[in-house]
Chain A
């Protein structure tokens, strides 16, 4: 059903200036003309404007500005990521639905997208503001053949994919704040929340949640976040069609994932470090109830953060709270 509709849009979109006859569509798709009529009604519901002239045929006059499964999947040229996709206008959280689907056996590469999240969340159940139509709220189910301790590297690999998408599609330079946030000019534009179900030495599934602020204006960013959050609209002063960004992002994630599973994190690491936020700068590290100044040196092959303390001793961090603005000011 869905793939027929996707083919239908493709056929019509190829001939945007001309009408395509019902006869031709019926032959190409191998369905009755009555069925075509039904699909056209469905497309109109999705927001497509279709001009139908009897005995001439159909033509797409306008593409929807409202997101739907069709508008996201039409033009998606990944080989497996997002080929199975769930789109909902409204969800509590894409992450929660993805967990449910994964537990029910959803296949590797399944993607969940919502236009609006009522209970969008970050780590430790912190709220993630996910207004209707303003951003990309998406969760990806992966079943990587890896040991659980390697899973955090998927967060870093996904961050690299977001950076590449922002560079190629939006022409902005994003930076990665270790390990899971994307910044533009000192403000957060996207976050990655990776969650996992694993046994001692086997990953059952990983869910990569991505929240990317796209079309919020400065006023639409909640007041308490205005100092620290931004959107692509604010940075570029134009609105963006989310479908195009999603399609490219999924393509980038698919490619970085394949590279990672085949060759490990090594080559991705260099790309990550090139985009790293505050590399070489001083920050403040909080770990084990102690606070100390540290200089950001880079990341290890396993993704752990390498820092140097004031005595030039190197330390490796897997887990720490970092105060990015207050390190070693007077040194």
Chain B
């Protein structure tokens, strides 16, 4: 098995709901395990807070962002989650490091709200890096059940932005 194939595999498993993966063939053994908190059941959503498998150089560079994140913001959504226990099976993640915007311009309405139906090609938000405004599409058909990031907040590569209940 080539490194490239293993990388591909990690990526696929990372995006899937599989927690553990074993593969054996001709003396080659591959075992992959995700660091999840599935066991701690009720707040399943915490999975998302755990570090996604992301490019290491991106992590270092983002210290300014993580340090600056106010504590309150971290706590708030979790509390909300417990009450509502939203039912979701898909996440929209950020394809790059940048600033998250919910609306096309400061005085327009957000692209989507909780409860909105989205299609594959519905634009759900913008992630801006170096003044490049990337319109993010849902890439899933379903309903937005939660918005995970505040308008104007810095997001990481691979960070979940929305939770979606697919159809």
Contact = CB atoms under 8 A, between A and B. Distances in A.
B154 interface: yes
B155 to A, nearest CB: 9
Contacts of B106: 124
B130 interface: yes
Interface stretch (A11-19, A22-30, A78-86, A146-154): A146-154
Given A124-B105, A151-B134, A288 B95 contact: no
Interface in A277-331: 287-290, 300, 303-304, 315-319
Contacts of B134: 148, 151, 196, 198
B39 to A, nearest CB: 29
Interface in B57-96: 61-65, 68-69, 93, 95-96
Interface residues of A, number: 36
The size bracket of the interface on B is: 20 to 34
Interface in B97-153: 97-99, 104-106, 128-135, 137, 139, 152-153
Given A200-B95, A288-B65, A319-B128, A123 B133 contact: yes
Contacts of B139: 199-200
A156 interface: yes
B142 to A, nearest CB: 16
Interface of A: 123-125, 147-149, 151-153, 155-156, 178-180, 192-201, 287-290, 300, 303-304, 315-319
Closest 4 CB pairs of A and B: A152-B130, A149-B96, A316-B61, A288-B68
Interface of B: 61-65, 68-69, 93, 95-99, 104-106, 128-135, 137, 139, 152-154, 157
Given A124-B104, A178-B130, A192-B131, 20 more contacts: A124-B106, A125-B105, A149-B95, A149-B157, A195-B132, A196-B135, A198-B134, A199-B95, A200-B139, A288-B65, A288-B69, A289-B152, A300-B61, A304-B61, A316-B61, A316-B64, A318-B62, A318-B97, A318-B130, A319-B128
